[in-house]
Each structure stands twice: as C-alpha cells, then as structure tokens.
Structure 1
C-alpha cells in the first residue's frame, strides 16, 4: 500500500521530540480557533483537549456547549478525567485488559474494574501533545506513543487535525502510523450541553442506527448487535434523552443510563446523529467515517468538579463519541481495529452547528 500524504507529516511529527510517557506539562499550551461568525474552539496540550466551544444561539448570544475547566492544570485531578480529551490508543473498553494479535497476547493496564478503558491508566488524555496552529482555523496535534505504552505494541505516531469552518462546523481528522502491528481506535471525548448548563435530559436526540451493542455488567459487548426497535435505545426518530432513561431495562441498569455503542447506518446523506436544544435553538449534527457511536448520558457525573459552567452534576452533559466498537480486538466479528506497518489509520468526524428557529 502506498503511503498517504498525511503519513509523511506524521512521520515527521515522530521526530518532534514529544515524549508520550510524560504526564501533561506543568505549563500546558492553550490555543483558540475562531471564525467570522463568532464561534470559537479552545484546546490545550494536556491531552489535546477541547476545553471550550462557544456557539451562537438563536439570539446571537454565544453559548458554552462543551463542559470543561477554566485552568488546563485541573484536568489531571478531575474525577471524571476525559473532559474534551483526545482518546487513545483505544477508545472505549477492552475486556480483561488483554488481546491477542498474530498469535501473541498483549496485557494492558487495567483502569476500569477488570477492563482497560480509553487506553489505560496513562492514556493519551494524560499525555503532553505538541500543538501547531495553522492560521485562525486549523490546529494540528502531534504525539508519539512508544512501543509498550500501557501495554500496546508498536511505536505509534499520531496526528489529529482540528478545523473550525466558516459554516460553524468542527472537523476532527485523525491519522496514525505504526512500526509494529497494533490496534488503534481514536476519538474525542467532548461532554456536550447545548443548553449551556443544567440537565441534558430535555435535549432531543436522533441516532441513525437500527441496532446497538448490548453489554454485560462491566459494559463489555456481548457479541452480536441487537435491534433498537421496541427498546429504550430506539432514537431513529428524535426523542428527548430523558424520555425513557428511567424505565426498567437491564441494559440501562448496567450502564446506569445510556453508555452504549450504536451500530450506525451508513449514509452519505443522513448524519450519524442530531441533537437539538429548544432552550437555545442550537442544533448539532454529527457526520463520521466511523462504524459506531458511543452515547453516554453523563451517568457517573457526581458534582465533584467545578467546571466553567458550574458543577458537573449528574447528567449535566452527554457524549457522542465516533469510534469503532468496544472490545473489537477480542471480537473477530466486529470491524477490525488492527493497524499494520505500511498502512495508515484514518478517521474523520464533523460536528456541525446551526440554529433551528
């Protein structure tokens, strides 16, 4: 396979001197992207995090739609540490913290009961990235993850490009190359609230998926997708997030609400998901090249962190993470997340914002 042009840039980034073993810098870099509509996105090098996303509402007032801290140093001590983070090497869970690849077993760091979550104890969210701003609207984030990082094989060179467009869309494009066979599943863990603050249960949500992945009590997929029809997981027609979140359902009990991966219907015309706030008139559409979307309804938020918009109280933010399926390295029927030398990992997602009167 010929190298994609992005590979040359990624390989160059590998020599930038980044050390992915290092915890986030004592003095993180912060960069803000802006467009002519007044929308802005602020990132920090501590985990290549989306710290702030200001979007105009129906009255032209800017609304903070992403939960985050004012000070980037606070992310290291957060009790729910993924706010806005670029997640890797593997977004979501890997059962038992281990997998086999080419006949060899790899053991990962455990950080979620018996499982590995979001790359392990020192995943990408805890690491210092190199940030490079390209004009007003583009940010390139680079990281080199060494062989054995949290147990994952191969030296992985990663490049994430965030672009804020003139049409109020935030593009997230991921690229990676490796020198050994490995597994990769990158995403962003932004916590959204289109109201700006308060409960997210009144948000109207559509997910373009006919099926989802049922999980066990540790939130590992059981194997086969299940139809959403006739379940609280049917968001094919827009529903309030809170309309069925309290019904008696084993899957909702396991997740303490929604914390499940949806198997997206592939369509060039329809978005993967649409969220709408009646309070602000802000609508968010998500488009992605990924096969799955993890919907998390903020079930483990406990009001233990003072964020920019107030306390992170129970269900005051939600996540819609574009990604491959959880535990894919151990489930051969799922789309593969294996990356081999000479190949390029590539993923693209768009979060598009508009106003519905």
Structure 2
C-alpha cells in the first residue's frame, strides 16, 4: 500500500468521523432545544433516610421551564423556580440543602404540609360527641405532626401536566387525635405556571382536620434579603383577634383603620412596626370575603425588583399571613445563605385556628362516610412594565 493510498484512507476516515460527530451534535442540539422548549417531566431520586425510612425528592418541570421540588418527608415543597421580568429563573421559596436540615429542630416548617390540625388548639384538648381528647401539643398537629411524617408518593401524568400524589395514614390516637385518617395530597404543576395543591381525607371516627402548606416566599429570587418591600393585597375585610400567645379570642374584627388592612396594595413593611409588640411582626388570620367553599382569589403579592407576582386562590375561609418574624441568621438555608427576620412571608390557606373549640367558627369536624376536600392554587406571574 502506497503512502498516497494510506493518506487518502485516513482523510476519508477523518471525513466520516466528522460527519458522524456533526450528526450527533445536531441531534443533541435538537434534543436540548426540545427540552428547553419544554416537554414536562418528573425526576425522582432517593435523598436519604429518616428514622430508617427512605425519603424521596421529586422535581417537576413544565414546558415553560418552571420547576417545583417536593420531598416525602413532611410532604414538603422544598423549592420553586420561576422566571422574573428579565426571563431569569431563580428560586422564590425558602429551603435547605440537606435532608438532615429538614429533619432538624431548626426547621420552621419550611414548605411543609401541616396537620392533622394546623395552627392552635387551646389547652391542647377538645371535645367531640361528649368525649374529651388530649393532645401532645397545642399547635400544628402535635409534637410529631404531618410535617415530621414520611409520606408515600407516586408520579402522575395527565393532560400534558405533571403531578405527584402523596398519601399518609394517620392512625387512631396519633398525637391524641381520634380516628384512622387517610390523607391524600396532589401537587400539580401546570403549563401556565400554577402550582395546585388538592387535599382529600377520609376517617373512621369523627376528628378535626385543618390542613395547610407552610411555604416561605421571597419573590425577589435573592435580589432582596427581606420581603418588606413586597406589595400585598388580601381579599378580606375582617381578621381574627388574638390574645396571649397568639391564641385566637373568638372575636372577628374589621381591618379598617388597623395595621391589618391589606384591602388595597401596600408593602409588608409599611405598618409592620405597629404590630411588633404583639407578635414580632404579622402573624394574623384573615377571614376572607369568600366563605362559599368555592375556589376564589384570596391574596396577591407583587415584588418590584423581579416583577414577579403571586396570586393565591383557595376554597378555604381563611388565610394566615406570616411575615417570617422568627427567621434567624443562625439558620442557614439553601447554598449556605443565612436567613434573616422578615426574609420571606407565608400565605397559609386554612380554616380558623381553634375552630374545634369555637362553635361560631366554620366546622372542622370530619365524620365517617364523608370526604374532606380543599384546594389551593399558587399562581406565578410576571409584570414586565
């Protein structure tokens, strides 16, 4: 074989390799373009164990690129990534880097599902049908509420949208509550950047039930360490009076001429100093205008630096507005960044606190043969003006 023949074959081989490589790169580019264009997907991974039980993380992405992350410990929302007015996607929900942080004592219910009864029950006890029940704690479902339980989960694909269904069986006597209560929560990410939370529950004994999600939002996506410049509207003309220890007194008062008046847009920080002496900031339950049990707009938040807007819809009669009063720089969040007081806010849709001991409040007792249902939507938008 001559030298020229060898060179010709080498050139031909190199040309073939070039063609193959070009095709592969073109295919990869096409694939990446399709993925960014956005076929919705779910990614599942095991992230560790708590008390010997496996804990899984689910990452949901819609066709616009918005992502929501969930873990089966506490049926918690651990991250929400949405675009701002510049098209940059960043996190708008507080979270931790590790499972051990979520399971640790410094976790202030970040993104957790709260139950069997969210918020407070006076004196850690209640009476149903003449029988008294004593609880392990007066707040958030007991010493080991739903936020500290491991849920079973499965992926759901429907109508080109992605969802995760989580289930937990709260056994009769757990934390002092009566009845075997089967709870199902479905988290759905739509292609219009809505996060839907659908709750359903059944019981074999009469039991109180109040469920909510305790996500902390900072819509700036890290551009502002505090949420005090976020503008808020709450569609409520009344709020629940609270006394010592933030316990509801049973009175429902008008928001007019009080720091709790968010009937028109104002920043979270505008009147916050006026409530510092009571609850170190806002920690108030609003009685919403909508008391029909049908889905309606409850609150709207707007962050000017990012242009992000959050609309909250719910079937619940109330929403708790909490301004992150007890967030501390001693606690480090995602990427090791310390949290700070008023660094985020919560809008927790729910029935009123201590309803089980306040007959005038909307009913929270679920009985056998009946099904508890509730729906909340967190809708993420962008103002580009």
Normalised by the size of structure 1, how large is the TM-score? Answer: 0.89
Match of 2:377 in 1: 350
Shift of 1:270: 6.0
Match of 1:124 in 2: 146
Distance in 1, matches of 2:267 and 2:349, equals 21
Contact 1:131 1:139 in 2 (8 A): yes
Structure 2 regions of 5+ residues with no counterpart?
A: 1-48
Note the alpha carbon deviations across 1:136-159, whole angstroms, 9 max, x for none. 611000000000110000000000
Match of 2:329 in 1: 303
Contact 2:299 2:312 in 1 (8 A): yes
Q: Which has the larger radius of gyration?
A: 2
Distance in 2, matches of 1:76 and 1:277, equals 31
**Structural mapping, 1:186-201, within 5 Å:** 186-197=211-222, 198-201=225-228
Distance in 1, matches of 2:173 and 2:62, equals 40
Is 1:54 matched with 2:81?
Answer: yes
Shift of 1:80: 3.7
**Structural mapping, 1:289-328, within 5 Å:** 289-308=315-334, 310-328=337-355
Is 1:184 matched with 2:206?
Answer: no
Structure 1 regions of 5+ residues with no counterpart?
A: 1-21, 111-115
Note the alpha carbon deviations across 1:122-171, whole angstroms, 9 max, x for none. 00010000111113611000000000110000000000000000000000
Contact 1:25 1:46 in 2 (8 A): no
Distance in 2, matches of 1:302 and 1:93, equals 23
Task: Identify if the C-alpha distance between structure 1 residues 269 and 335 changes in structure 2 by more than 3 Å, giving closer, same or farther.
Answer: closer
Note the alpha carbon deviations across 1:237-295, whole angstroms, 9 max, x for none. 01000000002x5xx52211111100001187962000000010000000100000000
Distance in 2, matches of 1:78 and 1:306, equals 13
Distance in 1, matches of 2:353 and 2:52, equals 30
Contact 1:93 1:118 in 2 (8 A): yes
Task: Identify if the C-alpha distance between structure 1 residues 307 and 142 changes in structure 2 by more than 3 Å, giving closer, same or farther.
Answer: same
Normalised by the size of structure 2, how large is the TM-score? Answer: 0.83
Contact 1:264 1:293 in 2 (8 A): yes
| Greater relative CO (CA pairs within 8 A, separation 6+) | 1
3-state SS, counterpart of residue 254 of structure 1: helix
Match of 1:171 in 2: 196
Distance in 2, matches of 1:269 and 1:172, equals 12
Task: Identify if the C-alpha distance between structure 1 residues 240 and 25 changes in structure 2 by more than 3 Å, giving closer, same or farther.
Answer: farther
Identify the structure with the greater helix proportion: 2
